[in-house]
């Protein structure tokens, strides 16, 4: 036995000091391998739509309702099943509503408790006792475990359980108990959550989503370009800050900035009124619900223009400082001819829709004025010193990354940059060229250094990389030739607005390319898939989210209300359980109030189902591989004990 292995077994013996302890552990671990695989839930491109996100999380994309059907079959009517599902989704609200109309609350408590207990029993059967105990609410853990665990030693089980339920009702704990059981069901129905990017921007509830994820029991996050943009802003990168604020103004989304993170926009408002007070700023209209409710829409449009000009200046500075980004064609301010009212873009002169540029010096078009510098300095300080934002960004760093390989599937947001011939595109990062998986690893390393490096130079490089990931043509998170914000504001010709997609998207129905990408990330076999977010699937135009014969699944169906008119739906979600994969399309979520009052659910339909030949067990998963490795290590420890290499200890 070599020295390294001997030292490792010595350390392992501290946790398993005897042959008996090691043997018991092996038996327990071996039994875990035969349990059904836990359910994975995949969501993508949430874009601040908190209510829809919250509901999908509560109903597990239909998994809760399916479990109710499995448990009660034909013994409950459709109405009773719908009511039970609504109670599980919104227990507090449903109890308040029922209390106003139910004449016999004691009986309602009893019936509801028994039904929730039955659902919990079935769900808990997939978990080990240890894992189940970690999921139980601390204040009711013992009682719930008694109710959902089979006790063969109890002869009169009905009387035993009746006495517990009666006591819960008698001492006035029924409502709290129903709430705890409902939340436990939400927890148990989904073993692990995957978020495939773009939590931020467009909708008004990204801060609520992040707060919910901070307390979620098991998750990972693949960064989207909007998420990395906010990460860059939190790190103090001024180009990212300007883009975040401009996006928020464009979408009328002040709630996340001001209420969610306490970012003060008053200095920007004052500056905008001083500089653009007489400018109608008609090209800087506000999207979304804000245009219906904002009494000061004129001020918002002026702020929008002020921040857009600041952003274009800062973008020009970043591009000049980083020629390796290959974005010099996006420096457009110096091509503006104010006398003619034109701009030169991609080799052609266009007439400008707006010719008022009071803060642009033709000789130094990318230099901020003193007032613009003051606005950005205050915004930078607000982003960098916001405790809540920094905590949320730390979650993205701790649980997130540019990609994830999990249980045979490859998860990412955006695309793997490719050339027209289907080869992986080489991209320069910090003076070196990378492609495929190596490109992802190099970019992620740079991002992390922006937050943890001791070198200010590495931090600055990382901040620049986050800006590149947001909108760079070779960014795997963006995947387009350009972000045509300038053209959309200032040029009428819609042809110049178009953003060419990376060749990756032309290969989305090419199975050989999908297999090549999977192999690049170390995945082979018929049960491996690419699960892809970022580009909405236009279902209304007949596009399918299932590509390459099922090897590639695109799960961005447009959670954001902004996309509903072009996608025809409100998002896809994916469930991967012990029976296989189930892709579901969702109709728009109406409201939380309607879900509570009318027991409405998101109308969903299965788009694709891939059943496995046999039920998948934990032994078939990544966790199973780790357990098998531990079993082999414990067997080696037992051999070392028996051979006298390591001595058993007193327990």
pLDDT in tens, 397-437: 999 999 999 999 999 999 999 999 999 999 999 999 999 99
Q: How confident is the model at residue 352 (pLDDT cuts 50, 70, 90)?
A: very high
For 516, counting Cβ atoms within 10 Å of its Cβ (0-12 exposed, 13-18 middle, 19+ buried), the class is middle
> Once rounded to an integer, what is the mean pLDDT over residues 359-378?
97
How far apart are alpha carbons 112 and 104 in whole angstroms? 12
Q: Which residues contact 26 (CB under 8 A, 6 or more apart)?
A: 631, 634, 635, 638
pLDDT in tens, 583-635: 888 777 777 888 888 787 776 667 767 888 889 999 999 999 999 999 999 99
Looking at the DSSP bridge assignments, the partners of residue 364 are 361
Q: Write out the two tokens for 525.
A: 């076999």
> Once rounded to an integer, what is the mean pLDDT over residues 49-54?
90
Bridge-based pairing state of the strands 604-611 and 219-222: unpaired
Helix 105-124 / helix 91-99 crossing angle, nearest 10 deg: 160
Looking at residue 562, its pLDDT comes to 58
Looking at residue 592, its pLDDT comes to 83
How far from chain centre, in Å, is Cα 238? 24
Looking at the DSSP bridge assignments, the partners of residue 404 are 411
Looking at residue 183, its pLDDT comes to 95
How far apart are alpha carbons 564 and 47 in whole angstroms? 13
**Secondary-structure breakdown of the chain: helix, strand, coil percentages, each rounded to the nearest 5:** 55, 10, 35
> Percentage of residues in the chain with pLDDT exceeding 70?
93
Q: Are 343 and 335 in contact (CB under 8 A)?
A: yes
- Eight-class DSSP state of 558: -
Looking at residue 160, its pLDDT comes to 81
Q: Are 256 and 217 in contact (CB under 8 A)?
A: no
Residue-wise DSSP of 441-484: HHHHHHHHHHHH-S-HHHHHHHHHHHHHHHH-TT-TTT-BS---
Looking at residue 291, its pLDDT comes to 47
Angle 191-196-201 from CA coordinates, rounded to 5°: 125
Write down the mean pLDDT value for the chain.
91
H or E segment and range at residue 219: strand 219-222
Q: How confident is the model at residue 241 (pLDDT cuts 50, 70, 90)?
A: very high
pLDDT in tens, 288-300: 655 444 558 999 9
How far apart are alpha carbons 403 and 417 in whole angstroms? 14
Q: Is the pLDDT of residue 438 over 70?
A: yes
Find the range with the poorest average confidence among 52-66, 145-159, 188-202, 629-643. 145-159
> Once rounded to an integer, what is the mean pLDDT over residues 329-343?
96
Looking at residue 431, its pLDDT comes to 92
Q: Is the pLDDT of residue 105 over 50?
A: yes
Q: Are 59 and 586 in contact (CB under 8 A)?
A: no
Q: Write out the two tokens for 490.
A: 């200032």
Looking at residue 292, its pLDDT comes to 47
Q: Write out the two tokens for 62.
A: 């239909």
Closest CA to 184 of 115, 137, 128: 137
How far apart are alpha carbons 630 and 625 in whole angstroms? 9
Instruction: Spell out the long-range contacts of 616-621 with Cβ–Cβ below 8 A and sequence spacing 24 or more.
Output: 616/36, 616/37, 616/577, 616/578, 616/579, 616/580, 617/33, 617/34, 617/35, 617/36, 617/37, 617/578, 618/32, 618/33, 618/34, 618/35, 618/36, 618/37, 618/38, 619/33, 619/34, 620/37, 621/37, 621/407
Q: Are 36 and 616 in contact (CB under 8 A)?
A: yes
> Once rounded to an integer, what is the mean pLDDT over residues 556-569?
56
Closest CA to 481 of 330, 316, 333: 330
How far apart are alpha carbons 292 and 564 in whole angstroms? 18
- The pTM for the full model equals 0.93
Q: Is the pLDDT of residue 568 over 60?
A: no
Q: Write out the two tokens for 637.
A: 């420890």
Report the b/e string of 42-57 with b at 16+ CB within 10 A.
bbbbbbbbbbbbbbbb
How far apart are alpha carbons 41 and 61 in whole angstroms? 8
Looking at residue 541, its pLDDT comes to 57
Tokens 């960064």 correspond to 223
The HSE-up count of residue 543 (CA atoms within 13 Å, CB side) is 20
How far apart are alpha carbons 179 and 147 in whole angstroms? 15
Q: How confident is the model at residue 538 (pLDDT cuts 50, 70, 90)?
A: low
How far apart are alpha carbons 540 and 564 in whole angstroms? 10
Other beta carbons within 10 Å of 605: 10
Looking at residue 410, its pLDDT comes to 97
Looking at residue 12, its pLDDT comes to 93
pLDDT in tens, 243-253: 999 999 999 88
Find the range with the poorest average confidence among 76-85, 284-293, 443-452. 284-293
Other beta carbons within 10 Å of 405: 16
Q: Write out the two tokens for 409.
A: 């599937």
pLDDT in tens, 176-207: 999 999 999 999 999 999 999 999 998 899 99
């Amino acid at each position: 036995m070599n020295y390294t292995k001997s030292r490792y077994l010595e350390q392992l013996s501290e946790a398993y000091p005897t042959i008996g302890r090691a043997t018991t552990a092996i038996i327990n671990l071996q039994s875990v391998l035969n349990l059904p695989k836990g359910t994975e839930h995949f969501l993508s491109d949430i874009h601040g739509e908190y209510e829809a996100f919250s509901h999908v999380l509560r109903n597990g994309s239909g998994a809760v309702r399916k479990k109710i059907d499995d448990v009660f079959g034909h013994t409950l009517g459709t109405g009773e099943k719908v009511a039970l599902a609504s109670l599980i989704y919104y227990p507090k609200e449903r109890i308040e509503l029922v209390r106003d109309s139910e004449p016999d609350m004691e009986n309602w408590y009893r019936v509801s408790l028994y039904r929730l207990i039955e659902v919990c029993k079935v769900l808990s059967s997939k978990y080990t006792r240890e894992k189940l105990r970690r999921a139980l609410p601390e204040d009711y853990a013992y009682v719930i475990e008694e109710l959902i665990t089979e006790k063969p030693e109890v002869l009169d089980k009905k009387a035993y359980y009746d006495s517990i339920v009666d006591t819960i009702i008698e001492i006035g704990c029924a409502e709290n108990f129903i709430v705890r059981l409902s939340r436990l069901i939400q927890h148990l129905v989904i073993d692990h959550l995957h978020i495939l990017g773009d939590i931020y921007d467009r909708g008004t509830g990204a801060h609520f989503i992040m707060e919910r994820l901070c307390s979620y029991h098991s998750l990972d996050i693949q960064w989207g370009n909007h998420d990395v943009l906010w990460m860059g802003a939190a790190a103090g990168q001024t180009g990212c800050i300007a883009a975040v604020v401009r996006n928020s103004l464009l979408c009328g989304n002040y709630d996340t900035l001001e209420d969610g993170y306490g970012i003060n926009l008053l200095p920007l408002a004052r500056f905008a009124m001083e500089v653009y007070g007489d400018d109608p700023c008609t090209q800087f209209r506000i999207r979304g619900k804000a245009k219906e409710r904002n009494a000061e829409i004129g001020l918002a449009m002026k702020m929008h223009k002020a921040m857009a000009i600041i952003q274009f200046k800062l973008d020009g500075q970043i591009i000049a400082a980083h020629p390796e980004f290959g974005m010099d064609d996006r420096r457009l301010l110096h091509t503006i001819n104010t006398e003619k009212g034109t701009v030169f873009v991609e080799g052609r002169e266009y007439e400008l829709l707006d010719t008022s540029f009071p803060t642009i010096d033709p000789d130094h078009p990318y230099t901020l004025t003193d007032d613009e510098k003051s606005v950005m300095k205050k915004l930078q300080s607000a982003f960098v010193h916001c405790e809540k934002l920094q905590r949320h960004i730390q979650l993205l760093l701790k649980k997130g990354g540019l990609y994830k390989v999990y249980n045979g599937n490859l998860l990412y947001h955006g695309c793997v940059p490719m050339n027209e011939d289907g080869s992986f595109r080489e991209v320069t990062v910090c003076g070196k060229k990378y492609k495929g998986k190596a490109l992802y690893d190099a970019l992620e390393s740079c991002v992390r250094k922006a937050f943890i490096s001791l070198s200010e130079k590495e931090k600055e490089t990382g901040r620049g990389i986050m800006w590149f990931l947001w909108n760079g043509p070779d960014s795997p998170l963006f995947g387009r030739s350009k972000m045509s914000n300038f053209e959309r504001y200032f040029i009428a010709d819609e042809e110049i607005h178009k953003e060419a997609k990376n060749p990756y998207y032309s290969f989305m129905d090419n199975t050989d390319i999908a297999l090549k990408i999977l192999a690049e990330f170390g995945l082979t076999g018929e049960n491996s898939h690419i699960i892809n977010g970022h580009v909405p699937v236009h279902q209304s135009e007949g596009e399918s989210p299932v590509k390459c014969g099922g090897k590639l699944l695109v799960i961005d169906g447009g959670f954001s209300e902004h996309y509903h008119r072009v996608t025809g739906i409100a998002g896809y979600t994916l469930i991967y359980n012990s029976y296989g994969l189930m892709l579901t399309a969702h109709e728009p979520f109406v409201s939380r109030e309607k879900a509570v009052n009318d027991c409405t659910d998101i109308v969903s339909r299965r788009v694709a189902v891939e059943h496995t030949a046999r039920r998948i067990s934990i032994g078939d998963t990544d966790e199973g591989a780790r357990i098998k490795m531990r079993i082999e290590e414990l067997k080696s420890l037992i051999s070392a004990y028996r051979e006298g290499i390591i001595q058993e200890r007193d327990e």
